[in-house]
Structure 1
């Protein structure tokens, strides 16, 4: 057996100790605290050491990786006792990471493709998360809510896989704690979920992830980010929100690939053959994510969910408007700087063409039409116009920032974020005056 697979199996066995949490109650941390002490001070060599040792552990003479993993699990267990974190989420989090790592190493024996490895992590983590929650439900008065279990296990597996791709193997403690806290937040925000809804959500998000990666529209981390965002949008918002999100992702990806070789020759093409990474995904969609989370929270507090719908649609309109204006406008000569109207070279930040501006208008119009047709409170011609205004405002601000501060002071992702924020604020502000 390969050392990495053997080590992952050992970590999975240690993680399985979490299943004792419902019985141990406030002492759920004890098994993991004991493992941490053994790893740090007792098991310093021998066969057991070799099972769990990571490369750096041999140099230090102690199992730092196992100790950190066990301490993170113990810390989560203390949250269960101290601040009433649901024990099912504690168990799910530990098993997501434990069996996610095992799943990744199992598929690594057959393929070294990063996408295949990540898929193995997500599948293993998902199965571990579902089994952990079901196990807790079987020995406690907790009523089984399998659609919710599936959602939380899926979200946890994707979050953990994303963190693992962005960080390092030795950062398992940070991944575990972050995943546990996020799952706790997701559980608090979730409303009733039916089996049909979660099945449709999984089918759509998995299909989106596979297509985006197959078409090289996203890197592995970009794919994970998009899939996570899609899942949260469907569960917290609904399928109409997902359609708006997809109008940005799908049309934006196609516009990036459109006449790519020509844009590459002109020096205006996106890097990595147009494959979007995590920073690009969240630069364009962070405001949308906050909006859908705010919408979910509005069901629990006295907030008007309508305004969050306009914020979401307005930010997406701005994102697609800006993307199309750049991708189409970059194909034409004689752009003018938006602040002075002087001619500049194609690809200059803040340079605009009438073709690009028209494409941006069409992009904002597409999102506005989809939102007005499918989102609950963004309805009719007025709703579409309000979203359209947000999209155009965001596109214009993006160009203005490109001409003034982008490059020397701030990066492209920060400019995109600001543009989508402006789109959300404009749509929401006007909606507050006319609709709310």
Structure 2
């Protein structure tokens, strides 16, 4: 009954906001900048239409009602949380934190309420085993929504809601049993990571949200060993970016924004790893050995750290040569390499390989570590070759980084498949 009725109230609100309520106290409550000029509640109408669209998925495609409710409340209470913070502070980090906290509370209690309404005969105590899963879904939805809000405009709430709802549906389908200790540890680590990365100016607000989301998904879908591999890249990569930063800036080879990594940089380096984690979570439902996804994850991370260290360290030296012709070029030239940078890249790939050997169940032997190391070096080399040939006006740095990590994942997975 709830599924069939979910669409109607939101459609009615959208019609009222678009065509009926154009003045008065109710209009003032929901009006956003620009609504007064247009004479209608565009923001509320778009929000309600997006909720109605999700409600159609509930009825037509069996999207769980609890996830639908959580998505709507994450956006609603997230906006309220951000507005509450904006009344006392204009700090972007605090505003985003207000959105995440408000969205989490709305999503968490929304799932509980929806389950109780759907299963009226079920006692409240029976929901206790599901609470860690509710926490994971609410926190991941809140971070996803905050990330989209950071990247888009306030008027894009419909797109934020639809995207958040679909991703939350995916997370809910992939998530297995979530333990209380696991989710508490995951949230503690990811929140600490987000705060430290922003406080040390190692990431922008959007980059911080991307890192928090990736870390949370890696822990829940993979485990703390996977998280340690991810941290080997994030922590050492961030430190290498800050290493002798003023000198690199004077040489014209430093990262922009004082070295703070944005969403594009995080996605370019970690998107392949995220796909590998999702694939591992889905491996029980698809005819693919989950072991291969572990090698894909480790190989992509080895390539990311190898490339980062080779660039950050190599840019400090003058003996730069183009990888394709070996002619001398200025430091910082795309595709330029130094022996110091290449050695640093080798060390970076080796660090990830060792961490993977120690903590990933599939990579437990020196041969397995060598496979990861090989993927990392292959990715670093491809990054340099692409930098020398196509990077620039036609291809951006993020696309090159993505390709390098993809090569690292493919090489590690392919070699593991053949020799292990």
The normalised TM-score by structure 2 is 0.97
Equivalent of residue 102 in structure 2, options 124, 127, 130: 124
Q: Which runs of 5+ in 2 are unaligned?
A: none
Equivalent of residue 275 in structure 1, options 260, 264, 270: 260
Q: What is the CA–CA distance in structure 2 between the aligned matches of 1:55 and 1:92, rounded to whole Å?
A: 26
Residue matched to 1:312: 297
1:369-411 alpha-carbon deviations (Å, 9 max, x no partner): 0001000111110110000000000000001111111113201
**Which 10-residue stretch deviates more, 309-318 or 38-47?**
38-47
SS of 2:328's partner is coil
Equivalent of residue 424 in structure 1, options 391, 405, 409: 409
Residue matched to 2:314: 329
Contact 2:349 2:373 in 1 (8 A): yes
1:89 corresponds to 2:67: yes
Instruction: Tell me by how many angstroms 1:32 deviates.
Output: 1.1
Residue matched to 2:234: 249
**Which 10-residue stretch deviates more, 284-293 or 298-307?**
298-307
Residue matched to 1:101: 79
Contact 2:357 2:368 in 1 (8 A): yes
Residue matched to 2:39: 61
1:27 corresponds to 2:12: no
**Which 10-residue stretch deviates more, 316-325 or 35-44?**
35-44
1:218-239 alpha-carbon deviations (Å, 9 max, x no partner): 0000000000000000011111
Q: What is the CA–CA distance in structure 2 between the aligned matches of 1:212 and 1:169, rounded to whole Å?
A: 25
Instruction: Tell me by how many angstroms 1:24 deviates.
Output: 3.5
Q: What is the CA–CA distance in structure 2 between the aligned matches of 1:359 and 1:104, rounded to whole Å?
A: 43
1:256-310 alpha-carbon deviations (Å, 9 max, x no partner): 0000000000000000000000000000011001110111110222210000000
Q: What is the CA–CA distance in structure 2 between the aligned matches of 1:120 and 1:251, rounded to whole Å?
A: 29
Residue matched to 1:201: 186
Equivalent of residue 336 in structure 2, options 351, 362, 370: 351
1:134 corresponds to 2:112: yes
Instruction: Tell me by how many angstroms 1:25 deviates.
Output: 3.3
Contact 2:357 2:366 in 1 (8 A): yes
Residue matched to 1:232: 217
Q: Which runs of 5+ in 1 are unaligned?
A: 1-22
Instruction: Tell me by how many angstroms 1:138 deviates.
Output: 2.0
Instruction: Tell me by how many angstroms 1:360 deviates.
Output: 0.2
SS of 1:191's partner is coil
Instruction: Tell me by how many angstroms 1:63 deviates.
Output: 0.9
Residue matched to 2:283: 298
Q: What is the CA–CA distance in structure 1 between the aligned matches of 2:268 and 2:380, rounded to whole Å?
A: 14
Residue correspondence of structure 1 range 257-268 to structure 2 within 5 A: 257-268=242-253
Instruction: Tell me by how many angstroms 1:147 deviates.
Output: 0.5
1:348-375 alpha-carbon deviations (Å, 9 max, x no partner): 1111110000000000000000001000
Q: What is the CA–CA distance in structure 2 between the aligned matches of 1:263 and 1:41, rounded to whole Å?
A: 57
Instruction: Tell me by how many angstroms 1:55 deviates.
Output: 2.0
Residue matched to 1:161: 146
Question: What is the count of residue pairs matched by the alignment?
Answer: 413
1:147-206 alpha-carbon deviations (Å, 9 max, x no partner): 110000000000000000100111111100110000000000001111110000000100
Q: What is the CA–CA distance in structure 2 between the aligned matches of 1:373 and 1:152, rounded to whole Å?
A: 29
Equivalent of residue 370 in structure 1, options 338, 343, 355: 355
Q: What is the CA–CA distance in structure 2 between the aligned matches of 1:283 and 1:138, rounded to whole Å?
A: 41
Contact 2:299 2:412 in 1 (8 A): yes
Instruction: Tell me by how many angstroms 1:136 deviates.
Output: 1.4
SS of 2:227's partner is helix
Instruction: Tell me by how many angstroms 1:139 deviates.
Output: 2.3
Residue matched to 2:391: 406
Instruction: Tell me by how many angstroms 1:75 deviates.
Output: 1.2
SS of 1:55's partner is coil
Residue matched to 1:50: 28
Residue correspondence of structure 1 range 135-154 to structure 2 within 5 A: 135-141=113-119, 144=127, 145-154=130-139
Contact 2:3 2:55 in 1 (8 A): no
Q: What is the CA–CA distance in structure 2 between the aligned matches of 1:415 and 1:55, rounded to whole Å?
A: 39
Instruction: Tell me by how many angstroms 1:214 deviates.
Output: 0.7
Q: What is the CA–CA distance in structure 2 between the aligned matches of 1:252 and 1:40, rounded to whole Å?
A: 49
RMSD over equivalenced CA pairs, Å: 0.9
Q: What is the CA–CA distance in structure 2 between the aligned matches of 1:357 and 1:185, rounded to whole Å?
A: 39
Q: What is the CA–CA distance in structure 2 between the aligned matches of 1:389 and 1:300, rounded to whole Å?
A: 29
Q: What is the CA–CA distance in structure 2 between the aligned matches of 1:49 and 1:226, rounded to whole Å?
A: 38
